[in-house]
Amino acid sequence: MLEILSHQYLKNFLRDQSIKWEHVYSFGRITSKCIANDSTYLINSEIFSSNEWLPPILISLFLKEEDSIFILPIEKIQFIRQFYIDSLKNLGFNFIFKNNQLIFANHLVRLITIQDLLNDPNFLNLRNYRIVFSGIEDIKEDLTNHFRISLLKKDWTKNFKEFELINQRFIKVYDSLKKKFFMRKVLGNNYVNLDEKEISFISNFFHENSFFSDKFLSINKALSQGWACWVKLNDANLDWNLYLQPIDELSQIKELILNNKFVFLSALRKDNFFQMYLKKHSLDIDLVINFKSNYEEKKISLYVPPNQFLPNNPLFTNSILDKCKKLILFRKGLTLVLSDSIDLKIYLATELASNYGKRVLLETIPCGKNKILCSSFDWWIMNSYLIQIPEQIIIPLLPIPNMTEPINAIKVSHKKKLSQDWFRDFLLPEARMKLERSVSPLRKNSGKLIILDGRVNKRNWGRLLLQNIQPSKQINYMLPFD
């Protein structure tokens, strides 16, 4: 019944709207079925990067007389408020819109960002809600940003006279640890991993002094749950900061997922990563559905030069620079060079700028055509919607997580202790997801993707990464490269 009714309302709504997505009615029927029952669904489509999919979801939630939560970015909430509220009321829906809540006579629909939901101290107490969760492709990053705790030097003291003696005692502990940490500092690396004795000492300290502040209390809780912790040294001020983060971020909201009914929406073409993420926690998805976006999907032109050097080869860096120069010749559109290695990224940007001058940009939104943009994968993913589609993307190094970052090293160590395949369970899926999100704009213009990392040819897992770039067509040469 909900499916038929929502289709009728959607048809009336679209008469006055300029939505051109040809699958909007199919999406409306599917989402109404998802919302009407108690199963868990994952819907994948790059259409979720736009706003054209919002009306079918809203109409189904309005018609289902059951309290529900719609998780989405703040900019989409603002878009709904500005462009859809009056149009939906004109369909005959009777509600009050207040504090991002659509209040009906028998139920309410709450529009909320994932950040605001996690900041609600009672979010784990939700029971039997229908929750539509968009932006699920960013769930790991969202959870990491929310739950990560940082303890700075200023957090060890309070500016009240009655805490003077405690402040002095805490600063002594802080300075004692500072000497140990700086003595272990490795040249070129500001991070220090803690050994078992240090973790035990810090755990006991914050357990005994959890009364001191909310920050101390949260650290005590985090350490009691076995969170990862590490230290970052500040050479300029000769001080140190403590950082804590869950080893498995999803465990922090597992109870929420178990106790409610979800429709997950991912803006990836196929979000295999999230499915695997849930399975590790014995959380199953009843049905996965893929929808095409509102543009004609074209094949990515994939080029992998033969006989590439491996990254550990001393000739690798110079070889990469030489190949980049050749690949840029005669190109009139945007060339994007992606690398998560800071040293390689800066080196390439500097050397290319010596040849091409102001055409070369380092993590800057380009103005004009024929630019050469060097950036990390994360920066590009975050800003790609502001930038023209590249004519070609050059990837010197695959985005395998950097083991010099403490959280990655701690996660790998944790998986080793559990006798798990840390490379295929952690590092490889992370690289696959970054690669998928970074190259997805090329499906709009059949742009070229050039991978210069020799591991894509010489490692089985590298060839597997190539196979996952779909749809694509392999090209065997590129002038003037060959």
**Residue 79 within any structural domain of the chain:** yes
The predicted pLDDT at position 473 comes to: 94
Q: Are residues 24 and 126 in the same domain?
A: yes
**Residue 480 within any structural domain of the chain:** no
* Helical H segments across 373-419, by residue range: 377-383, 406-417
Which distant-in-sequence residues (6+ apart) come within 8 Å of 115 by Cβ?
142, 146
Q: Are 202 and 170 in contact (CB under 8 A)?
A: no
**Would you place residue 343 in the very low, low, confident or very high pLDDT band (cuts 50, 70, 90)?**
very high
Q: Are residues 196 and 221 in the same domain?
A: yes
Which distant-in-sequence residues (6+ apart) come within 8 Å of 236 by Cβ?
none
pLDDT digits (tens, 9 = 90+) for 347-357: 999 999 999 99
The predicted pLDDT at position 277 comes to: 86
Q: Are 448 and 275 in contact (CB under 8 A)?
A: no
Q: Are 26 and 259 in contact (CB under 8 A)?
A: no
**Would you place residue 38 in the very low, low, confident or very high pLDDT band (cuts 50, 70, 90)?**
confident
Q: Are residues 308 and 433 in the same domain?
A: yes
Backbone angles phi, psi at 9, to 5 degrees: -65, -40
Q: Is 274 exposed, middle or buried (0-12, 13-18, 19+ CB in 10 A)?
A: buried
Q: Are residues 413 and 454 in the same domain?
A: yes
Structure tokens at 66: 């059951």
Say if residue 121's pLDDT is above 70.
Answer: yes
At residue 152's C-alpha, the angle toward residues 147 and 158, to 5°, is 110
Q: Are residues 328 and 353 in the same domain?
A: yes
The candidate with the shortest Cα–Cα distance to 417, out of 210, 243, 182, 226, is 226
- Select from 226, 261, 290 the last residue of a domain: 290
Number of domains in the chain: 3
Structure tokens at 58: 């809203």
Q: Are residues 219 and 320 in the same domain?
A: no
Computed over every residue of the chain, the mean pLDDT equals 93
Mean pLDDT across 169-189:
92
**Residue 295 within any structural domain of the chain:** no
The predicted pLDDT at position 307 comes to: 86
CATH number for the domain harbouring residue 411: 3.40.50.300
Say if residue 481's pLDDT is above 80.
Answer: no
Q: Could you give the count of Cα atoms lying within 13 Å of 293 in the half-sphere of its Cβ?
A: 20
Structure tokens at 277: 């993420």
Mean pLDDT across 135-141:
94
Say if residue 480's pLDDT is above 70.
Answer: no
Q: Are residues 441 and 343 in the same domain?
A: yes
Query: Strand 101-103 and strand 108-112: pairing?
Result: antiparallel
Q: Are residues 20 and 49 in the same domain?
A: yes
Q: Are residues 49 and 112 in the same domain?
A: yes
Q: Provide the angle, in degrees to the nearest 10, between the axes of the packed helices 54-63 and 2-14.
A: 130
Structure tokens at 206: 């914050």
Q: Are residues 92 and 130 in the same domain?
A: yes
**Residue 203 within any structural domain of the chain:** yes
DSSP single-letter state for residue 101 = E
State which of 13-17, 325-329, 391-395 shows the largest mean pLDDT.
391-395
* Helical (H) or strand (E) element with 103: strand 101-103
The predicted pLDDT at position 351 comes to: 97
Q: Which domain holds residue 152?
A: 147-245
The predicted pLDDT at position 152 comes to: 96
* C-alpha to C-alpha distance for 186 and 228, rounded to whole angstroms: 20
CATH number for the domain harbouring residue 108: 3.40.50
Q: Are residues 348 and 221 in the same domain?
A: no
* Helical H segments across 102-213, by residue range: 114-119, 139-147, 164-183, 196-208
**Residue 217 within any structural domain of the chain:** yes
Percent residues over pLDDT 90 in the chain: 85
374: left (phi over 0), alpha (psi -120 to 50) or beta: beta
pLDDT digits (tens, 9 = 90+) for 217-228: 999 999 999 999
pLDDT digits (tens, 9 = 90+) for 405-435: 899 999 999 999 999 999 998 999 999 999 9
Say if residue 179's pLDDT is above 70.
Answer: yes
**Residue 341 within any structural domain of the chain:** yes
pLDDT digits (tens, 9 = 90+) for 227-270: 999 999 998 889 999 999 999 999 999 999 999 999 999 999 98
pLDDT digits (tens, 9 = 90+) for 262-319: 999 999 998 888 988 898 888 889 999 999 999 889 999 999 998 899 999 999 999 9
The candidate with the shortest Cα–Cα distance to 340, out of 312, 375, 392, 383, is 375
Percent residues over pLDDT 70 in the chain: 99
Say if residue 375's pLDDT is above 70.
Answer: yes
**Residue 168 within any structural domain of the chain:** yes
* C-alpha to C-alpha distance for 109 and 60, rounded to whole angstroms: 11
Q: Are residues 384 and 463 in the same domain?
A: yes
**Residue 481 within any structural domain of the chain:** no
**Would you place residue 479 in the very low, low, confident or very high pLDDT band (cuts 50, 70, 90)?**
low
